[in-house]
Structure 1
Amino acid sequence: MNILMFTNTYRPIVGGVSESVQRLKNRLQAEGHRVLVVAPKMRGQPRREKDVVRVAAVQHFNGSDFSLPVPIPGQLFEAIEDFDPDIIHSHHPFLLGDTAARAADTYGLPLVFTHHTLYEHYTHYVPGDSPRMQRFAVALSTEYTRLCEAVIAPSESIRDLLLRRGANVNITVAPSGVDTRRFGRGDGTMLRLRLGIPRGAYVVGHVGRLAKEKNLPFLAEAVARLLQWQRDAHFLVVGDGDARECMQQEARRYGVESRFHFTGRLQGQALIDAYHAMDVFAFASHSETQGMVLVEAMAAGLPVVAITAPGVREVLRDGSNGRLLMHDDSMGMTMALDDLADPERRRSMSVAAHGVAAMFDESRCAARCLEVYRRAIAVGGAFSHADDNTWERVRSRLGAEWHMLLHRGRVLRSLLQDEPSDRATGIDSEIHDTAPK
């Protein structure tokens, strides 16, 4: 099968969507499928890339780590026609997601969309962030699903949320996979030694972008309090971003800054070894659609302490493979982490963590995506306009632009029909409504 993917984030960006796309691409290719990725140009990207087409982009949009693609569909047509795709898989509902929809319409191909992100939690990266912008993000992603033959949700919570929002009902749950065997093989001894962490110290760890939407001041406060209680405990943070400063402020406020260790971004075996330098994994984000870093941590045998959120509760069983807290209770998180300082308590949870991680191995997740592709092709039939004459190509492109214009009209109509007072207060509550009662 020839699979054409569009994504706004890709290497060298380190983040959930970028990692998900790369892992899915690699796994599908390992199973004999052809994959071509369309992504933005970025500083630091590999000089030579196989099976990747880059488009022009504005670097470090609004001070973030992200590049803002400036898609020029014309430059892609030759690459698309040479690749001759059977299906198009979009990983975003805007920018290159729009280009994916145009390409699918132009060439008569099925379009699949993975709803990786709760976009309303990321509007602070856009000038003029407001409740109205959050409502726009919800309307945009919901309406985009209606352009697609099929939708992939990374967790059951996100599937349920999309259905309540009126999205395309053809949704399959297929979380991004993790190479569980690889993450199970690591050695954190050297990292502990380099950072001055004693071999027998209790190490709480965290991995991810240090960004506003990750609820990191709350996490830092809870862990700093633990370090006050546990004089031999340390906090190991893998990742970088603007929120690092506020985490360091919490460490200073509690007088434990010497036991807060920031490694910066790590990849490959260095990242895996960092997981193995930890004893327990702590997580407080509300903006996740799936628990990929949690699965990575569990594959390394780590119990997890986290706040309930979409995706988190699919992988974390309270009292089995960690502790799941129902709301932002800083003292509750400190006490849960303190409880797991006992190696005996962690031992059985580590075994359970390995078992849960195995259910999210990348081979299983790739198989689910392939099944979605096959069903989408079977319904609509794989058909390409690549061999049409010039007039037919122009007409199909104009038709694609018209359909995108209608899509934008539906987004605006949906936004105008919403009551601001309801939507401004309802976005977060509808997410938390998916929590078990």
Structure 2
Amino acid sequence: MQTLKILLVSNNYLPYSGGVVSALQLLLDELKKMGHDVRLITLDFGVPTIDQENVVRIPSLFTFSYKKNRMAVPRQAKRFLSEYIKKFNPDVVHVHHPFLLGPIVVECAKRLHIPIVFTYHTQYEQYAHYVPLLPAHLVKKYINNAVYQFCQSVDAIIAPTATIKNQLKKKRIKTPIKVIATPIASFFFDQKNQRKENSEKFSLLCVSRFVPEKNLFFLLDVLKMLGQNKFTLTLVGYGSLYDELREYAFHKLKLSPDILFFVEKPSKEKLIIQYHKADLFLFASTTETQGMVLAEAMASGLPVVAVNAPGSRDIIENGVNGFLVETRDEMKKSIECIATNKELQSILKNNALTTAQKYRAKLGIEQLIKLYQGTIENELHPHPE
């Protein structure tokens, strides 16, 4: 097997958590295991982190917090990236964001005739509300134009789902697009036989950032509708809405702390425990490109009930490994249907485990390497127009 020199570039990494960070950690580990020389360039957020030796951080001009997230403004990013790429001389550059570091890296790589792959992780226009002061419609217009230009500038695009590929095609992006599901870590599969102890209450779980686009108030409303005698809900994650969610749940909805639990930023080991204590996974986000937590839940043997939206539609087969719903009442009824039917629970669980096999690291990494090699070959021997 040909070994490759691979440069990953991302605006987000530890101390952040979430889908992109999990994907990067897995790529670093799995590509290194296969013998490839893989590096990650990211930002320095000004907080202590224990990085792997192949993680490189661009020095920051300054850092700050915004909505409980660490932000960094890199110092002389263009010079740093240009010098690093020239010295490392990678076979391929894999960019994970179309803003900030992304355009700089594209410019540097193109100058050295290094092919560029871009993973479209996020529906960026759905996050316009994070930009302060400016009207959302103007921000969305700018984002759509910037993302389009960036997609046109790279050599290959990875879409995590067929839905995202179709959305990109509708935007008339000409760059080749390959669907490769973002793989999940093997420990979600390895632990699947560790099940919860018997409990009188049916345990519901959601793993998510506590931010507006994740639609978590929807789940709190559903829990209220279910009543307080037969169900519990655990929300695992972190984010700017933590206090508001607790206020809404315990003061407005009058939910009992005996049935609703918040777990902030658990370790990997504690996250696995949460998955395997649960009976059913819930998801209400409407802005996902893929919903990696749904694959993690299914690998842990959990069926999923989710709001019918992109990302969820690509993994959930209605009535097979879970249910897609439109309203709070539909989610309530689906939960009750599953909770009262042991045979249905077993069928959904087994099908969820089968679905999760598509997200094993070995399959995703093999597809990724094949794409890298094809992109490199096209750069060395371009097809005539």
- Per the TM superposition, whether the score is higher than 0.5 is yes
Instruction: Report Cα offsets for 1:3-22 as digits up to 9, x if no partner.
Output: 11110101121111111111
The aligned amino acid for 1:224 is K
Match runs of 1:269-280 below 5 Å:
269-280=269-280
Match runs of 1:183-262 below 5 Å:
183-185=189-191, 187=194, 199-226=199-226, 228=227, 231-252=229-250, 253-258=252-257, 259-262=259-262
- On the 8 A contact 2:154/2:175 being kept in 1, the answer is no
CA distance in 2 between partners of 1:382 and 1:76 (Å)? 26
- SS of residue in 2 equivalent to 1:314: coil
Higher relative contact order (CA 8 A, sep 6+): 1
* Inter-CA distance 66–368: structure 2 relative to 1 (3 Å threshold): farther
CA distance in 2 between partners of 1:371 and 1:119 (Å)? 27
What corresponds to 2:8 in structure 1? Answer: 5
Match runs of 1:12-411 below 5 Å:
12-57=15-60, 58-70=62-74, 72-127=77-132, 128-180=134-186, 182-185=188-191, 187=194, 199-226=199-226, 228=227, 231-252=229-250, 253-258=252-257, 259-325=259-325, 327=326, 329-342=327-340, 343-381=342-380
- SS of residue in 1 equivalent to 2:80: helix
CA distance in 2 between partners of 1:93 and 1:147 (Å)? 10
Q: Which has the higher helix share?
A: 1
CA distance in 2 between partners of 1:345 and 1:249 (Å)? 35
- SS of residue in 2 equivalent to 1:5: strand
Instruction: Report Cα offsets for 1:321-369 as digits up to 9, x if no partner.
Output: 11112x3x11111111121212332111000000000011111111111
CA distance in 1 between partners of 2:177 and 2:187 (Å)? 29
Instruction: Report Cα offsets for 1:135-188 as digits up to 9, x if no partner.
Output: 211221121111011110011000000000111340000121013454440647
* Inter-CA distance 55–295: structure 2 relative to 1 (3 Å threshold): same
- On the 8 A contact 2:8/2:96 being kept in 1, the answer is yes
Identity, in percent, stands at 30
- On the 8 A contact 2:283/2:306 being kept in 1, the answer is yes
* Inter-CA distance 183–210: structure 2 relative to 1 (3 Å threshold): farther
- Tell me the C-alpha RMSD between the 2 structures: 2.1
- On the 8 A contact 2:31/2:38 being kept in 1, the answer is yes
TM superposition score normalised by structure 1: 0.80
Question: Aligned pairs, how many?
Answer: 372
- SS of residue in 2 equivalent to 1:261: strand
1:106 shift after superposition: 2.3
CA distance in 1 between partners of 2:59 and 2:224 (Å)? 43
- On the 8 A contact 1:188/1:274 being kept in 2, the answer is no
Instruction: Report Cα offsets for 1:365-407 as digits up to 9, x if no partner.
Output: 1111111111111111299xxxxxxxxxxxxxxxxxxxxxxxx
CA distance in 1 between partners of 2:16 and 2:187 (Å)? 24
CA distance in 2 between partners of 1:78 and 1:23 (Å)? 26
1:29 shift after superposition: 1.2
1:31 shift after superposition: 1.1
- SS of residue in 2 equivalent to 1:175: coil
- On the 8 A contact 1:156/1:311 being kept in 2, the answer is no
* Structure 1, unaligned runs of 5 or more: 193-197, 384-437
CA distance in 2 between partners of 1:170 and 1:319 (Å)? 34
Q: Which has the higher strand share?
A: 2
- On the 8 A contact 2:188/2:296 being kept in 1, the answer is no
CA distance in 1 between partners of 2:381 and 2:72 (Å)? 31
- On the 8 A contact 1:181/1:299 being kept in 2, the answer is no
* Inter-CA distance 380–36: structure 2 relative to 1 (3 Å threshold): same
- On the 8 A contact 1:180/1:296 being kept in 2, the answer is no
1:61 shift after superposition: 4.9
- On the 8 A contact 2:201/2:229 being kept in 1, the answer is no
- SS of residue in 2 equivalent to 1:370: helix
What corresponds to 1:398 in structure 2? Answer: none
- SS of residue in 1 equivalent to 2:66: helix
